[in-house]
Structure 1
Amino acid sequence: MTINIASGDLGILKAGKYVLCFAKKVGSTYNVVWSSATDFLESNTFSWTPQYALFGTNTFRGGVTVKADTNVVPIGLGSQSTLDNNGHLGDPSSSADPTSITLINNYGSIHPGVSSVCTDINGNTSTNPIYVAENPIVKGSDALTPVESVMVWFDQNIQTSTMFSDSRSNPVEIDLTQANTATRLYSDEIWTTPPLRDALGLLPFLTITAALTGAVIAHDLALKISAKLTGVYSNFTIEVQVAADKKVTMIYGQRPNLTAAASKLTRQLIQASSTVDQLAQFALQALAQCQVGYTSFDAVAAP
């Protein structure tokens, strides 16, 4: 996602020593600063991959940095880990809930916590806490469901991994359950969504629409397609939008800030039918990797 800040607001925020903050939703809750930055500029890019880790902690307290008191285990959606009576998390195994991370608690009172991988506005990748249960759970199980929704706001005297329980001042919530990318503009202390062309800085080269036989996560599908955009295709970007009726739209465009020569070459490539065929093939391969089929698939190149 891209967070743009108007120049006038940038100066005010810097003078006030504000921090640009991101948090990720788990269930219906935001309560940990996933990433924070003081060196934000007029345009800032933040991204993540759906990779998680599970831990337990003895404490939830607003304004305090998260501390894992158990061992930390990498875990994926649809998996579970057992906290034994010694307070040790075991290796993950499959669970019955494909959308959640399940903690089987044989230990006793504990606050479950989840971490996730993100790439901050400076391009540094790390695994940071995104959630800690405010109330401890007793023996039993707890399903933790990360949601592809991110809250962004400006704050003072706060840092990455800080827990909070009160509402944040003037945040914007960005729902990415149906899309893999988003742009927001902060101007005159108001959050707005720029028009698509302004957000992407380009017109789409190729638009693919498909009716799917199953559900996909837009961010996951976009990551799989992006991984294929190498070599002569490295100057292309992909945006994915998923509708509730299992219809997906995949939009190929040109990477921003290319040199004039690179931009010209990319535009020449898209005129070739072989390029259209290859980009469509990338989309089909990514759908197969997501283990979902389709009942219709249409690719339309821009005139």
Structure 2
Amino acid sequence: MTTYTLNVVIDNKQLLLLKENCYTLCIAKKVRDQLGDKYNVVWKGTADFTQNNQFKWAEQYEVFALKSFKIGALVEAASKKEPIGHKQECIFNDSGVMEHAKADPNLGDDTFKVTNQYGATSFGISTILNGEHNTSYISPVIIKGHVVFAPVNDIRVWFALKLPTGTMFSDFTGEYVELQFGGDKTTVTVCYDDLGSWKLKDSNPGVVG
């Protein structure tokens, strides 16, 4: 299984300013569903950042149910988190139990599915990051029937005021950098420079917004 690595290097002067003003270093991971491509959960939000920061992940996923998507709230699972892989389906049954994943050959190579037999609810994905499963996406609408998820190895990195891991959001405020991983591109290094701007330190393409 491929391991992806993100290195975030912060200028010393900016590091001091960010710490003094209680900023959080935030990372989000893109997911595609029936509404398109979205980021909507702080996959990792840490105030314990240093000059050199490293984040590693692999395509290891879990799915779970929750009551609803709510901007600004922390994710709270309403079911057991069940491991799932590509071309697999989990059923959230009429008793409110997330069943073990089973193969579904009709799914695309980079997708998996959750089928809802319980009632109107939302579903979330957690993805392993630095050895821990953190929520990386929540379906922003109530799901009836089923939803097909396609996690994407596109990552956004930004600084925000006191925005902890697991916070649901709808958009970005301030400057961010978007980084694309996949194929031979498994490691990317990005720098927050002395002017407070994001700069890539390698030849891999990225988007600054």
Q: Which of 64, 85, 91 lines up with 1:76 in the alignment?
A: 85
- Give 1:39 shift: 1.9
Alignment of 1:185-204 (within 5 A): 185-187=191-193, 188-195=195-202
Structure 1 vs Structure 2: percent identity of aligned residues? Answer: 30
Q: Which of 67, 74, 84 lines up with 2:76 in the alignment?
A: 67
- Give 1:43 shift: 1.2
Partner of 2:3: none
Partner of 2:179: 174
Alignment of 1:150-229 (within 5 A): 150-178=155-183, 179-187=185-193, 188-195=195-202
Change (3 A) 1:107 1:5: same
- Give 1:80 shift: 0.4
- One-letter amino acid matched to 1:189: G
Quick check: 2:191–2:201 contact (8 Å CA) kept in 1? yes
- Give 1:168 shift: 3.5
Alignment of 1:3-22 (within 5 A): 3-22=8-27
Quick check: 2:27–2:45 contact (8 Å CA) kept in 1? yes
Partner of 2:207: none
Partner of 1:207: none
Partner of 1:142: 147
Quick check: 2:114–2:147 contact (8 Å CA) kept in 1? yes
Tell me the secondary structure at the aligned position of residue 145 of structure 1. strand
Deviations 1:213-242 (A, max 9, x none): xxxxxxxxxxxxxxxxxxxxxxxxxxxx9x
Root mean square deviation of aligned Cα: 1.4
Partner Cα distance (1:32, 1:168) in 2: 14
Q: Which of 62, 67, 73 lines up with 1:58 in the alignment?
A: 67
Partner Cα distance (1:60, 1:101) in 2: 20
- Number of aligned positions between the proteins: 191
Partner Cα distance (2:28, 2:202) in 1: 24
Which protein shows a greater Rg? 1
Tell me the secondary structure at the aligned position of residue 109 of structure 1. strand
Quick check: 1:115–1:128 contact (8 Å CA) kept in 2? yes
Partner of 1:30: 39
Quick check: 2:40–2:138 contact (8 Å CA) kept in 1? yes
- One-letter amino acid matched to 1:137: I
The unaligned stretches of length 5 or more in structure 2 are 1-5, 205-209
Quick check: 1:153–1:168 contact (8 Å CA) kept in 2? no
Partner Cα distance (2:172, 2:163) in 1: 14
Quick check: 2:10–2:192 contact (8 Å CA) kept in 1? yes
Partner Cα distance (2:56, 2:188) in 1: 10
Partner Cα distance (2:110, 2:202) in 1: 32
Partner Cα distance (1:174, 1:42) in 2: 19
Partner Cα distance (2:103, 2:87) in 1: 6
Partner of 2:124: 113
- Structure 2 length normalisation: TM-score? 0.87
Moved over 4 A (4+): none
